[in-house]
Structure 1
Amino acid sequence: MRKRRKTVKLQRDAAHRRSLLANLTCSLIEHGRIRTTLAKAKALRPVAERMVTLGKRGDLHARRQAVAFLRQKDVVKALFEDIAPAAAERVGGYCRIIKLGARQSDSAPMALIEWVDAPVTAEATEVAEVVEA
């Protein structure tokens, strides 16, 4: 019988997967949108939305939880000061995944993940390319 699996393993052990998701989240916070594989984007969305929820709480404990996961204080500062206030009225669904088609080299399905409430800037118009680990 098929059982539901809560986490997507992405063919990595637990520590590598946690580091990968933390780094993808930091890149998403820093650049506003990133281009990655569809499987990584789908695994990233719940993690990124959990970080925005911590940012909306805004207390010291939430900030420390975010620093413990992301391990970059400047990214946590940007999350709490820029991204979380932009999503203040939104209850959930802070990220958007846009399918882009297959990558030319290995035909992996690619996707663009971005913030729904992000202000559009000249810097955010370029897509940050995530290096495959």
Structure 2
Amino acid sequence: MRHRKSGRLLNRTRSHLKAMFQNMACSLFKYEHLKTTLPKAKELRRFVEPLITISKIDTVAHRRLIFSRLYNSEIVNKLFTIFGPHFKNRLGGYMRILKCGYRIGDNTILAYVELVDRKSQK
């Protein structure tokens, strides 16, 4: 039985989910926005927001912890130099999820994911 198991599986294995969310998080931190399906966006929020919260305090232990989740030193440096100080006074809710229509083919709901108060607005 699947009682009290949190998170969406999205019809993927755990290793696939981990790799997918690592890649999506790196893309989100690199470009500050992305377009994906709504369930993936909601699950990405559970992966990304704790990383930003950890990046508010710049210590070696926190850098190693985030590197163990993202495996990209360029993104880790950007997190601690740009996003950590930027979100210093915000207690949570670093991401915005906006529904943007339906995908042609399978009619799934698409969503834009962007960081709140990002510098390069559309």
Q: Do both share a fold (TM > 0.5)?
A: yes
Q: Distance in 2 between matches of 1:24 and 1:7?
A: 16
User: 1:89 matched to which residue of 2?
Assistant: 89
User: 1:49 matched to which residue of 2?
Assistant: 49
Q: Distance in 1 between matches of 2:79 and 2:48?
A: 10
The Cα shift of 1:59 comes to 1.0
Q: Which runs of 5+ in 1 are unaligned?
A: 126-133
Does the aligned pair in 2 maintain the 1:52–1:84 contact within 8 Å? Answer: yes
Q: Distance in 2 between matches of 1:87 and 1:17?
A: 27
Q: TM-score by structure 2 length? A: 0.93
Q: Distance in 1 between matches of 2:4 and 2:103?
A: 29
Does the aligned pair in 2 maintain the 1:86–1:118 contact within 8 Å? Answer: no
The Cα shift of 1:64 comes to 0.4
Shift in alpha-carbon separation, 1:4–1:99, aligned structure 2, 3 A: farther
User: 2:108 matched to which residue of 1?
Assistant: 108
Q: Which runs of 5+ in 2 are unaligned?
A: none
Q: 1:9-36 CA deviation, whole Å, 9 max, x = no partner?
A: 1111111100101110000000000000
User: 1:31 matched to which residue of 2?
Assistant: 31
> 1:11 corresponds to which letter in structure 2?
N
Runs of 4+ in 1 over 6 A off after TM superposition: none
Q: 1:74-105 CA deviation, whole Å, 9 max, x = no partner?
A: 01111111111111100011111001111112
Report % sequence identity. Answer: 34
RMSD of aligned alpha carbons: 1.6
Q: Distance in 2 between matches of 1:54 and 1:118?
A: 19
> 2:43 corresponds to which letter in structure 1?
A
Aligned length: 122
The Cα shift of 1:4 comes to 4.4
- The SS at the match of 2:118 is coil
- The SS at the match of 2:7 is coil
